Amino acid sequence: MTQRAFVERRSPTWNEMEVLLQRIGRRGVRGVSPSDVERLGPLYRALTADLAYAQGRYDRELVEYLNRTIARAHAHVYGGIVPSGRRRAWQFYARTFPCEFRRSILPIALCAVITVASAVVAYAVIGARPDDAYALLPHAVIPPQITKSLHDSNFAIARDDRPLVSAAIITNNVRVAMIAFAGAATLGVLTLYIIVQNGLMLGGLGAMFGAAGFGWDFWATIAPHGTIELTAIQIAGGAGLLIAAGVLAPGRLRRKDALVRNGRRAAVLFGGVVTMLVLAGAIEGFVSPLRLPADARIAIGAIAAVLLAAYFTFAGRATTGRAV
C-alpha cells in the first residue's frame, strides 16, 4: 500500500484521536463523557498498530507524527486507569481482601478448628479441676481470686482514659497477630503454638469465671469485640501457615517462587487483619466498657458475627462473577 493510500484510509481515525485528545486536554479525563473514555482505548490500539505498520515503510515525518500522538494518548490511557489512593483502598476492602480470604479458607479454617478444640479442652479440663489452670495457662493471665465479673474487673475505666486503653488494646492485639504471622519463619510451628494458646486462654478463663458464677457475663463481655478480634487472629494464623506452605508444599513451583506467591497473598490477609484489630480495639475501648445488659452485649457480638460472615461470603463476588 502506498503512503498516500495508507494516510487516506487511516487519517479519519487519527483525526478522531486528535479531537478527543484536545477535548481531554481542556477538561481532563474525568470531564469527558463515558463514551469518549471508552473510545480512547480502541483508538490508542489502532494508532499503535498503524505505527507498527508504518515503521520501515513510510517516511520519517509520518512515523514521528504517529509517535507523538501515541505519546500524548499514552498518559491518558494508562494514567487515567491508575486508581487513586481512596479507590485502591476501596478495591482492597471491597474485593481483594475478602476474595483472598475465600481463596485461603483452608489454612484459616484450620486455625479456627484448632482454636475451638483448644478452648473446648481447656474449658472441660479446668471446669472439672480448676488447679489444672496452672498447667494449661500462663500464670500471668490466671486471676488469683474471682470475686466479680470480667466486665467489672476489666472495664472499670474512666471515660477520659478510654482512648489510651483502646490504643493499648490495639497495640497488644496487633502484636499477637504479628507473632502468629511471623511464625511462618518457624515453618508454622510458632503460629500453631500461638493459636493453641489463644484457644486455651479463651476456654480456660471462660471455665474459671463460669465456676465463680460469672460465666454469662464473661462471654457477654468479650462478645462485642471478641467476634472481630478472634476472627482476625485466625486470619493472621492462616496467613502464617500460607507462607509456611510455600516452603513445605510448593507443589509444581520452585520453593522460592511458591514462597513469593504465598507471601504476597499472606500480605493481603495481614493488611486486612490490622484493620480488623484496630476496629476490635476501638470497640473494646469505647463500647465494651458501657454498662449494657449482658443480653445486649451478646446481641452486639451476634450482629458483628453475621456482618463478618456476610462480608467474607459475598464481598467481591459481584465484580468477579464467581467465587475466588
Helix locations, the chain, DSSP H:
3-27, 34-54, 60-79, 85-91, 97-103, 105-128, 133-136, 150-154, 162-182, 189-211, 215-248, 255-286, 294-314, 317-320
In this predicted structure, the answer to whether residue 148 has a pLDDT above a threshold of 60 is yes
- Average of per-residue pLDDT across 65-75: 85
pLDDT of residue 71: 87
Q: Report which of residues 51 and 142 the model is more confident about.
A: 51
> What confidence tier does 125 reach under pLDDT thresholds 50, 70, 90?
very high
What count of other Cβ atoms lies within 10 Å of the Cβ of residue 152? 13
**Ranges of each domain in the chain:** 3-82, 86-320
In this predicted structure, the answer to whether residue 27 has a pLDDT above a threshold of 90 is no
State the pTM of this model.
0.68
d(CA 188, CA 236): 12
CA distances from residue 77 to 82, 120, 201 in whole angstroms, order as listed: 9, 57, 55
> What confidence tier does 102 reach under pLDDT thresholds 50, 70, 90?
very high
pLDDT tens by residue, 214-269: 889 889 888 888 899 999 999 999 999 999 988 888 888 788 888 888 888 998 99
Q: In this structure, are residues 218 and 210 in contact, taking their beta carbons and an 8 Å threshold?
A: yes
Share of the chain above pLDDT 90, in %: 21
For residue 276 the three cell numbers come to 480488623
For residue 62 the three cell numbers come to 509520518
> What confidence tier does 173 reach under pLDDT thresholds 50, 70, 90?
low
Phi, psi (deg, nearest 5) at residue 269: -60, -45
d(CA 111, CA 275): 19
